[in-house]
Amino acid sequence: MRTRTFWLAISFIFILYGLASAQSSANTSAGIRIKLIKSLNINAEQGNLDFGEIILPAQNKMLLKTPDKGLQLTVKGQPDKLVMFTFRKTRLNLLRENNRSNDALQFQPLVVRTNNNTKFLNPTPIINGQSYKLQNQKGEGRIYIWVGGKLELTENQSPGDYEGTFTLSVVY
C-alpha cells in the first residue's frame, strides 16, 4: 500500500509539472525616451513704448516710435529650436469716464529681430505667427527682439492720458 501511495504521489507530481510547463506566457517591451529642453523666457532689457507728451495736431498725424527707440527684449531658450511669435494691434483707452467713440487709439506694433546681436544692426521684421530659430550662444538659445510702433492721432482726438497693454507671446 505504501508503494502504491508512493507511485501515486510521483504520478501526481509529474502531472503537475506537465501542466505547469504547458502554460503559456508572453512578454513585451517598449523603449522609453525623453528630451528635456530649456524653458522659454523673455526679458525686457531696455527702453519702453511710451510716446511721451504730444501736442494735439490740427490735422490727422501718424506718430512713429522706431524699434531701435522702443523696447529691447531678449528671448532665451533651447539653442537652435524654433520659436513662434504672436502679437497684435493694441487698443489704448482714454483714462476718464464717458468715453466717446474717438476716445481710443490703435497701437500698430513694429517688431524686428537682430538674431544674436545685442546692437541694433541689420534688423529683420518679425511676421506675426512665424517661427524663428534661437541662435546658439555658448549653449543657450537667444534671439534679440526690438519693438516699436505707430499711433494715428486724429484732429479731433480727445486730450488726456491713453493707456493699453501690448502683448508679445513666444512658444516652442
pLDDT score of 171 more than 90 = yes
pLDDT score of 125 more than 60 = yes
Work out the mean pLDDT of the chain and round it to a whole number: 89
**Parallel, antiparallel or unpaired: strands 162-163 and 71-77:** unpaired
Three-state secondary structure readout of 132-147? EECEEECCEEEEEEEE
What's the CA gap between 117 and 150, in Å, rounded? 24
Phi and psi dihedrals of 58, rounded to 5? -80, -15
**Domains in the chain, please, with CATH?**
41-171 (2.60.40)
Q: What is the pLDDT of residues 30-53, one digit of tens each?
A: 999 999 999 999 999 999 999 999
Given a contact cutoff of 8 angstroms between Cβ atoms, the answer to whether 172 and 105 are in contact is no
What's the CA gap between 83 and 20, in Å, rounded? 59
